[in-house]
């Protein structure tokens, strides 16, 4: 719509400031208020706009291709369970949005200039220029949304292809002749992170990281004994933490891990999408604190589950 205001000389919506406040603002506020409630907090109105914006061009191109050649090729599933150690950008999705962002920036400049020249911000402008003020406001909104969509197309590093779970279990760690007790902070199919409840665990020196520290551990609640190697130690918090990668798992041990991580009744929590106010905060955080600048050292994050 804002592109039609500036490049085509067409004013699609002729509305004064008062008319926008009387008709559009109540509708928009009601939409923001009830959208999440109507879909049982599974989607956010603002975040859904970003999602739709990212997919609009690929979906439109796909629909056109299918109309002309419906049996060209089948659906291709996006690869899952991959790991990466660097940032990557999805240029195929970003290119049309980048062109649209530049066009919208030019449109904002033109619409704002026309509005100043013709007095579109006051109630005394003529009928021919009615609605110009809405054009540049609309352009600002589009720039914010497209800019956010361009930033979220940056794929952050994913250190592990496996899911890690925020699961608390009591663990006994045997390192040589020493025994340490702790509580798990994260568990996955390939490893565990433990917060130790006592001092004395040796710090893993950088030159020993490739060799690591072999040990055995026992998850007491599940009577599960495992062998592993320490790949990271951290003594900066109140309790020292160690991250361990499992070694030489038997088929029965793998099955016990899978049952513990995925098959506990009632473990999955119902997850709600952020509310609209929280969504606004997320959008501004994405714009003002891009992860490629402020969060370059990505680490595994744990999925929240019930502790039963």
Stretch 214-233: mean pLDDT: 90
* Pick from 295, 291, 275: nearest CA to 152: 291
Look-up of token digits 């054009």: 135
Q: What is the Cα–Cα distance from 258 to 277, expressed in whole angstroms?
A: 38
Give 142: exposed, middle or buried? Use CB within 10 Å, 0-12, 13-18, 19+: buried
Give me the residue spans of the domains in the chain: 2-155, 164-262
Q: What is the pLDDT of residues 244-268, one digit of tens each?
A: 999 888 999 999 999 999 988 888 8
Residue reference for tokens 């663990």: 171
pLDDT over threshold 70, residue 219 = yes
Minimum mean pLDDT among 16-25, 46-55, 165-174: which range? 16-25
- Mean pLDDT of the 265-284 span: 82
Report the share of the chain in percent with pLDDT over 70: 84
pLDDT band at 304 (very low <50, low <70, confident <90, very high): confident
User: pLDDT tens digits, residue range 166-204?
Assistant: 999 999 999 888 899 999 999 999 999 999 988 888 877
Protein fold of 164-262: Thrombin, subunit H (2.40.10)
More confident residue, 264 or 128: 264
Predicted local distance difference test score (pLDDT) of residue 125: 45
Q: Is 114 or 275 the better-scoring residue by pLDDT?
A: 275
User: Quick one: tokens of 293?
Assistant: 């600048």
| Mean pLDDT for the chain overall | 81
Question: What pLDDT is recorded for position 206?
Answer: 58
Task: Please check whether residue 152 is in contact with residue 54, taking contact to mean a CB–CB distance below 8 angstroms.
Answer: yes
β-pairing, 164-166 vs 191-196, is: unpaired
Q: Is the per-residue pLDDT at 218 higher than 60?
A: yes
pLDDT of 209 above 60: no
Buried-exposed string 253-269: b where 16+ CB fall within 10 A, e elsewhere: eeebbeebbeeeeeeee
Segment 69-77 shows an average pLDDT of 71
Query: Is residue 126 pLDDT above 60, yes or no?
Result: no
**pLDDT at position 227:** 92
pLDDT of residue 128: 46
Q: Is the pLDDT of residue 99 over 80?
A: yes
Which residue pairs, CB below 8 angstroms and at least 24 apart, start in 45-51? 45/276, 45/279, 46/276, 46/279, 46/280, 46/283, 47/273, 47/274, 47/279, 47/282, 49/145, 50/145, 50/148, 50/149, 50/152, 50/283
CA separation, residue 65 to residues 58, 62, 73, 74 (Å): 11, 5, 10, 12
Give the mean pLDDT of 58-65.
Answer: 89
The reported pLDDT for the residue numbered 155 is 80
* Pair of tokens at residue 193: 């992170």
Least confident of 15-24, 150-159, 208-217: 208-217
What pLDDT, on the 0 to 100 scale, is given for residue 1? Answer: 80
Q: Does the structure show a pLDDT above 80 at 77?
A: no
Q: CB-based contacts of 185: which residues, under 8 Å, 6+ apart? A: 166, 168, 193, 194, 195, 241, 302
């Amino acid at each position: 719509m804002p592109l039609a205001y500036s490049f085509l000389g067409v004013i699609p919506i002729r509305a004064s400031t008062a008319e926008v406040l009387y008709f559009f603002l109540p509708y928009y506020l009601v939409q923001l208020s009830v959208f999440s409630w109507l879909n049982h907090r599974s989607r956010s109105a603002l975040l859904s706009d970003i999602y739709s914006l990212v997919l609009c061009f690929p979906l439109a191109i796909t629909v056109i291709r299918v109309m002309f050649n419906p049996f060209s090729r089948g659906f291709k599933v996006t690869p899952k369970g991959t790991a990466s150690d660097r940032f990557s950008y999805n240029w195929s999705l970003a290119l049309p949005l980048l062109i649209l962002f530049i066009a919208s920036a030019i449109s904002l400049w033109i619409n704002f200039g026309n509005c100043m020249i013709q007095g579109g911000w006051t109630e005394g402008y003529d009928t021919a220029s009615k609605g110009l003020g809405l054009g540049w406001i609309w352009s600002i909104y589009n720039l914010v949304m497209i800019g956010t969509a361009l930033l979220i197309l940056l794929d952050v590093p994913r250190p592990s292809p496996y899911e890690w779970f925020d699961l608390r279990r009591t663990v006994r760690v045997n390192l040589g002749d020493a025994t340490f007790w702790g509580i798990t902070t994260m568990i996955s199919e390939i490893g565990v992170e433990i917060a130790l409840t006592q001092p004395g665990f040796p710090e893993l020196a950088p030159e020993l990281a490739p060799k690591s520290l072999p040990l055995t551990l026992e998850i007491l609640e599940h009577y599960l004994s495992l062998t592993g190697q320490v790949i990271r130690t951290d003594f900066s918090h109140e309790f020292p933490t160690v991250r361990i990668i499992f070694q030489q798992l038997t088929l029965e041990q793998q099955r016990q891990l899978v049952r513990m991580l995925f098959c506990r009744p009632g473990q999955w929590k119902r997850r709600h999408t952020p509310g609209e106010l929280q969504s606004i905060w997320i959008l501004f955080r994405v714009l003002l604190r891009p992860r490629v600048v402020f969060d370059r050292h990505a680490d595994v994050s744990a999925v929240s589950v019930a502790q039963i």
